[in-house]
Structure 1
Amino acid sequence: MIYLTFTLLFAGLSALWMFQKIFYPYFWDDLMYCLKFRKVGKAIMARMKCGIITYLDCFVHQARKTPEKPFIVFENQVFTYKDVEIRSNKFANVFKTEAGLKHGDIVALLMSNEPDFVCVWLGLCQLGCEVAFLNFNTKSRSLLHCFQTCGANCLVVGSDLIKCLDDILPALLDSAIDVWVTAESASYKNVHTLLDKAELASGEKPQVDIPPPNLCSTFLLIFTSGTTGLPKAARISHIKAVMSMAFLRLCGANENDKIYMALPLYHMAASLLGIGGCIDLGATCVLKKKFSASQFWKDCIKHDVTVLQYIGELCRYLVHQPKTGEEKAHRVRIAAGSGLRADVWKEFSRRFGKIQIREAYGLTEASIGFVNYTTEIGPIGRASYFNKVNDILQTLSLPFELLKCHPETCEPVRTNTGRCVVVNKGETGLLVAPLSFTNPFLGYVGNKAMTEKKLLRDVFKDGDVYFNTGDLMLQDHRDFVYFKDRTGDTFRWKGENVATTEVSEILGCLDFLQEVNVYGVTVPGYEGRAGMAALVLKEGCELDGESLYNHLLQNLPAYSWPWFLRLQTSLDVTETFKQQKKELVEDGFCPRTIQEPLYFLDSYKKTYVPLTQHVYDDIVSGQIRL
């Protein structure tokens, strides 16, 4: 009888195990992530009940808890949590007594990756200032635009970047802007020096009168690095900053990790997710002034790095480097970031050892985000059953919807009653998220029109307000979420939407192509835009038009094929490695205006042929039909 009972029990459990493997293969991954999220959520709530509410509070708490723990390793310097706290206090006291800064003042920060970026930032936070991170790649007119847009009355600039102000310094000084440089001396008239004064300042926390924080008020200003137009200053709330600090913990990092940071600190990924993640864990940040593909794995070995933070193109640069012994001799176990293409993902995983990839999605302006905590290559995250049943997840995570949108305008489709329509699973839709306490949108400084443009009202009922991410996503039947494209990069051809990211990934699989940037160009006599691709060939390779044609034939519908190719020696990218498209789109495909080699898809010859002026004229006149 007992034998029969155990046999039946074993058979039942085996059947249940098989059922789970077949129909719910990611059940345990989802459950474990759910439990981890719940634990993190409870920790955040418990911390807040103890008065540890803001990003600054979390740092001070960690500095008290582990004062001698290395916080920042930079070149040959090591700064403990206590070192950073004392130095940030010194800066705060200088700014209070010498500059008269106080709660509510906006201070612009123009600095490279260095420990004093963090120390100055935290010092200004001590005074209750709102800090605006400026992109150090921005020059002249654009830089002045950023400064004027954020409404700052003070600027702190790194000693290595002071020359960037040559063109605009007179305008800043004429506007009675206080300019401080992180140096002991300066040759510029009316520019204040910081380090000499900080040397003499007190390392104690300054005595300031700051009201209790409103978690939905502005903590930071971060400029979006959009590929078109001038940058916009997005307001970052205190609650978003605190929630961002949990990212590395959710990816599996812990207090014993050494986290490699080569991304620019003025970007949210580095400052809030990276530095904030280290603070949350009490971990050590190995800070790099600038990313170097050739030095990357050497640094990881030298500093015993165990976690690295990436943006997708950073990984692509690494896989295109010559093979070295260091690339598998490191101890890196987790790579966390966003924007990793599937083809690069596969090669990265194959080549660099057993590194867990934690691909994620997030936005500067809002808190909606996803994490792919599985081994599935390609998705940016999951939206599993547990998200809907867990009370902590419902409180701290963010609900979202994927809306059906018009193919040409990318505006949401509305019914006769004015309501939006949700797409079915397996269909691409516009990602939107309801505004809430955990997902506030504070807007762009000085740009009400652009702020309003990001909001969707009366989406499902009167009075509701959703944040429009402008990103096209797909949730498949297994609950994986895939990033398809940004609406601004999507173009329409032959009555169909073409996702440039998808085409780029397919082309990127060809072994003779190193870089691909897909976009749409206007062709006289046609509606929409025809596909075009800027390509960089691998060293020693030539364009194989026939192979390219056959590859497209096998992998993409005909309407998404690029009709034109432009060979380049390199592709222009933003400071966060996002591809630039605006100038390429404006250049079009005319051989007279483009000096680089151009090719045209000859569907009869089933290959790409040189795009001569004669061929161009025939296309424009309609003698050659696309």
Structure 2
Amino acid sequence: MTEFSRVMRDFTSVLPALTFRPPKDAEKKSLGRLFQETAQRYGDKSAILFEGRELNWGEFNALVNRFAHALKGQGVKRGDCVGLLMENRIEMLACFFALAKLGAATGLINTSLKGRSLVHCINITNSTKCIVGEELIESIAEVKEELPLADNDFIWVRDQALNKPTGEQSAAPAWAVDVVASLASMLTENLPETLEITAGEKACYILTSGTTGLPKAALILHRRYLSAAEPYSRIAFRAKQTDRIYICLPLYHFTGLGPGVGTSLYSGASIFLRRRFSASNFWPEVKEHQTTLFVYVGELCRYLAMQKESPDEVNNPIKTMVGNGLRPDVWDVFRKRFKIPRISEMYGSSEGNAIFINLLNKDKTIGTTSAKILLVKYDFDADEMIRDKKGRLVEVKKGEPGVLLMKIDDRFKFDGYNDKKASSSKVMTGVRKKNDRWFNTGDVIKQIDVGFSLGLAHYEFVDRLGDTFRWRSENVSTNEVGEILNGNAQVEIANVYGVQIPEVEGRAGMAAITLKSGLEFDPVEFSTYVMNEMPAYARPVFVRIQPAAETTVTFKLFKANLRKQSYNLSEIDDVVYVLKPKSTCYEVLDNDFYQSIISGQHGY
């Protein structure tokens, strides 16, 4: 088949989805309704497989309805928000769909969060109750008294993996309600209120990676979720009911919940669900369970590329993979070594108003979008967008990297965060016309030449702006990390930025800190503070001790030179500390370990 023929075939197959318009806010369409319609259509077909347990769509819908009736009995109602803290498992999705059927939003909480991070996530969504899995009950127990919830507002869900082989069942703590115990007596019929829920109502909150315990709650309306399900399913995956999707990404992130679960709902494809990613088990499971579709993030793919060759990877059944962050060198491995026919890299964000999809299966591109966009010039040293003499933003030339702005209109709406101030900070007005509105992604992309593409412009992701970088598949806010570090007894001021580590996706955190007058750096005290106050992905890998902070004339912390110098011992005279892999204490970065880092033998 010629390139022209292939592109025409691909374009023709996805044309209906390209013109798809999301439902209007008043339409009676919702996530819960889509779930039960799919369950009715494919009732006796496989829906989900998890740790040896398999449910067909009819059985899955019955379980969801039991949970919905149980939660309704606990007082959950339409318009509420309920926090959900549970690892990937069937019950996690059952609770998510049950809340959707009731018209209650789900606050999807990062399972690695503890302490004030966890408290913040429950509070920021105004959760009236919190569903917690047995496997994470200790996280809630530690902060229970800090939450504005009564004892019967905590709903405990047993984890069969933690129960003894003898059949002895674990019990909920005295301050939590065990809904699983009553499931058998609950109705399995669909709830009448599900058919009344409209597309403009709240489906869930994706709690963006706040890194320091201060995430923002990105609002996902039913309209938004439904409008993503079709393009992910038809354009990206081209999924059919006979497909099976391998999902090992955490479902509190939109990549797993949207492209993965959304595709299943739209197409009827079954899900092979894993609690967490395992590089060694990936190919054996793909082969054993004949998973044909795969949802990824770039870092996960790099781990697979680093694994020794496995007989199970040969002639594997995966025909399409969809995700984000796949770097060019790893892309080649998946094409040539793993022989994946279709790689649909995408670009989007939990709070964003539009997405890019590599619908024509071109190499090393995030693809194209039907939204109106602008790429504008950015002064990375001054940390601001460049304007002309008339104050207008300057667009980059074709092929040059620029900050991505996406037009907000009736088709590509911006729902924002639960925090109106945070939402306003992401919107720019009067960019091209008076009162026009644009979503500022904070990301840098560039247009690239991919050959024949029917005139559809294709783009490549370049990087995130300085205030945010990506590490361990999480978005890390330098401002928020800096605020926490500034709370340490030794620190006068902390300047945080991202630096590259060879052979590792994203950027590692680095902090240049100035100590309070008269103090010498105590790495043990500092390490204890960081371990207690931040999730693992937020902790700076490198700490540079500066005699004085560098600022601009407006007293804004200057990052450009720090980023360039990074942790390069030949370019800086300051002492640099490093948090080595699996270590809990910072130690001085010496030349031996520095050489292991730049040679790629570091273990990160």
After TM superposition, the score normalised by the length of structure 1 is 0.73
Q: What does residue 318 of structure 2 align with? A: 332
Q: 1:139 and 2:114 equivalent?
A: yes
Q: 1:64 to 1:476 in 2, by over 3 A?
A: same
Partners of 2:436 and 2:54 in 1: CA distance: 50
1:39 aligns with 2:9: no
User: In structure 2, how many angstroms separate the alpha carbons of the residues matched to 1:283 and 1:515?
Assistant: 30
- Find the counterpart in structure 2 of residue 219 from structure 1: 203
Deviation at 1:428, TM superposition (A): 1.1
* 2:212 is aligned with 1:180: no
1:308 to 265, 284, 294: 294
Indicate yes or no: 2:243 matched with 1:243: no
The answer to whether the aligner puts 1:201 opposite 2:190 as a matched pair is no
Aligned-residue offset at 1:287:
0.7
Distance in 2 between residues matched to 1:519 and 1:157, nearest whole Å? 31
Q: Please show how residues 494-513 of structure 1 align to structure 2 within 5 Å.
A: 507-508=502-503
Cα–Cα, structure 1 residues 100 and 515, in superposed 2: closer, same or farther, change >3 Å? closer
Partner of 1:107: 82
User: Taking structure 1 as reference, are residues 303 and 38 closer, same or farther at Cα in structure 2, changes over 3 Å only?
Assistant: same
SS of the equivalent of 2:363 reads coil
Write the deviation string for residues 452-487 of structure 1: whole angstroms up to 9, x where unpaired: 111111111111111111000101355330111101
Provide the rounded CA distance (Å) in 2 between the counterparts of 1:209 and 1:116.
20
Deviation at 1:416, TM superposition (A): 4.2
Cα distance in structure 1, aligned partners of 2:333 and 2:188: 48
In structure 2, relative to structure 1, the CA distance for the partners of 1:518 and 1:222 (3 Å cut) is closer
CA distance 1:487–1:44, shift in 2 (3 Å)? closer
Cα shift readout 1:472-528 (whole Å, capped 9, x = no counterpart): 01013553301111012689xxxxxxx979x76xx54xxxxx778467776779863
Q: What residue number does 1:8 align with?
A: none
Q: Report how far residue 161 of structure 1 moved.
A: 1.4
Task: Say which SS state the counterpart of residue 245 (structure 2) adopts.
Answer: strand
The corresponding residue for 2:462 is 484
**Mapped contact 1:298–1:326 kept (Cα < 8 A):** yes
- Distance in 1, Cα, partners of 2:53 & 2:10: 36
Aligned partners of 1:72 and 1:80 also within 8 Å: yes
Cα distance, 1:534–1:309 mapped onto 2, change above 3 Å: farther
Q: 2:215 maps to what in 1?
A: 231
What are the within-5 Å matches in structure 2 for residues 412-423 of structure 1? 412-423=385-396
Is structure 2 residue 128 aligned with structure 1 residue 149? Answer: no
Is residue 94 of structure 1 aligned with residue 70 of structure 2? yes
Whole-angstrom distance in 1 between the partners of 2:507 and 2:194: 52
Which residue pairs with 1:393 in the alignment? Answer: none
Q: 1:117 to 1:305 in 2, by over 3 A?
A: same
Name which structure has the greater RCO, CA cutoff 8 Å, separation 6+.
2
Indicate yes or no: 2:556 matched with 1:570. no
SS in 1 for 2:280: coil
Q: Partner amino acid for 2:68?
A: A
Paired position in structure 2 for 1:13: none
Once structures 1 and 2 are overlaid, which stretch shifts more, 291-300 or 86-95?
Answer: 86-95
Secondary structure class of the residue paired with 1:96: helix
**Between 298-307 and 241-250, the greater mean CA deviation after superposition:** 241-250
1-side partners of 2:567 and 2:244: how far apart? 38
CA distance in 2, matches of 1:355, 1:60: 32
Contact 1:489 1:519 in 2 (8 A): no
Mapped to 1, the partners of 2:576 and 2:8 lie a distance apart of 46
Relative to structure 1, is the Cα distance of residues 170 and 379 closer, same or farther in structure 2, using a 3 angstrom cutoff?
same
Q: Secondary structure at the residue paired with 2:378?
A: coil
Aligned to 1:359: 345
Equivalent position of 1:616 in the other structure: none
Which residue in 1 is equivalent to 2:281? 295
Which SS does the other structure have where 1:86 is aligned? Answer: helix
Aligned residues: 509
- Secondary structure of the residue that 1:221 maps to in structure 2? strand
Query: How far apart are residue 117 of structure 1 and its match?
Result: 1.2
- Is the counterpart of residue 79 in structure 1 residue 85 in structure 2? no
- Out of 393, 407, 429, the position equivalent to 1:434 is 407
Q: CA RMSD in A?
A: 3.7
Aligned equivalent of 1:165, options 125, 131, 140? 140
**Pair 175,194 (structure 1): closer, same or farther in 2 beyond 3 Å:** closer
Structure 1: how far apart are the matches of 2:324 and 2:582?
Answer: 20
Distance 1:30 1:434, change over 3 A: farther
What do residues 328-378 of structure 1 show as CA deviations (whole Å, max 9, x unaligned)?
142111121110111111123222134422211111102321122345432
AA at the equivalent of 1:84: F
Q: How many angstroms apart in 2 are the aligned matches of 1:102 and 1:596?
A: 60
Q: Structure 1 288/124 Cα, relative in aligned 2: closer, same or farther at 3 Å? A: same
1:417 shift after superposition: 3.9
How far apart are the structure 2 equivalents of 1:289 and 1:378?
Answer: 29
Q: 2:366 is matched with which residue? A: 380
How far apart are residue 448 of structure 1 and its match? Answer: 3.0
Please, which runs of 5 or more residues in structure 2 have no aligned partner?
Answer: 159-168, 451-456, 470-496, 513-545, 551-557, 600-604
User: CA offsets, 1:254-273, max 9 Å, x none?
Assistant: 22211111111111111121
Q: Residues 519 and 480 from structure 1, CA distance in 2 versus in 1: closer, same or farther, beyond 3 angstroms? A: farther
Q: How much has 1:293 moved relative to structure 2?
A: 0.4
* C-alpha separation in 2, matches of 1:128 and 1:565: 52
Write the distance in 1 (CA, Å) between the matches of 2:152 and 2:388. 52
CA-to-aligned-CA distance 1:52-89 (integer Å, 9 cap, x gap): 72222221211111111111011211111111111111
CA spacing shift, 1:410–1:203, aligned 2, 3 Å = same
Contact 1:566 1:598 in 2 (8 A): no
Specify the SS of the correspondent of 2:241: coil
* SS of the residue 1:529 aligns to: helix
The answer to whether the aligner puts 1:529 opposite 2:595 as a matched pair is no
Instruction: Verify the 8 A CA contact 1:367 1:439 in the aligned structure 2.
Output: yes
Q: Secondary structure at the match of 1:461?
A: coil
Distance 1:177 1:462 in 2: 52
How far the C-alpha of 1:175 sits from its partner, in A, is 5.4
Q: 1:461 to 1:48 in 2, by over 3 A?
A: closer
Judge conservation of contact 1:564–1:598 (CA < 8 Å) in 2. Answer: no
Partner Cα separation in structure 1 for residue 102 and residue 20 of structure 2: 27
483 and 77 in structure 1: CA distance in 2 versus 1, 3 angstrom threshold: same
CA offsets 1:425-457 (integer angstroms, 9 cap, x no match) = 111111111112332222222x33322111111
For the 8 Å contact 1:565–1:599, the answer to whether it is kept is no
| 1:443 corresponds to 2:416 | yes
**Which one has the largest radius of gyration?**
1
Work out whether residues 426 and 475 of structure 1, in 8 Å CA contact, stay in contact via their aligned partners in 2. Answer: yes
* Aligned-partner SS, 1:352: coil
CA distance in 2, matches of 1:27, 1:466: 35
Q: Structure 2 matches for 1:549-564, cutoff 5 A?
A: none
Greater alpha carbon shift after TM alignment, 237-246 vs 32-41: 32-41
Q: 1:204 to 1:185 in 2, by over 3 A?
A: farther
Q: Summarize the Cα distance change of 1:516–1:458 in structure 2 as closer, same or farther, 3 Å threshold.
A: closer
Q: What letter corresponds to residue 309 of structure 1 in structure 2?
A: V
Q: Contact 2:35–2:265 at 8 Å: present in 1 too?
A: yes
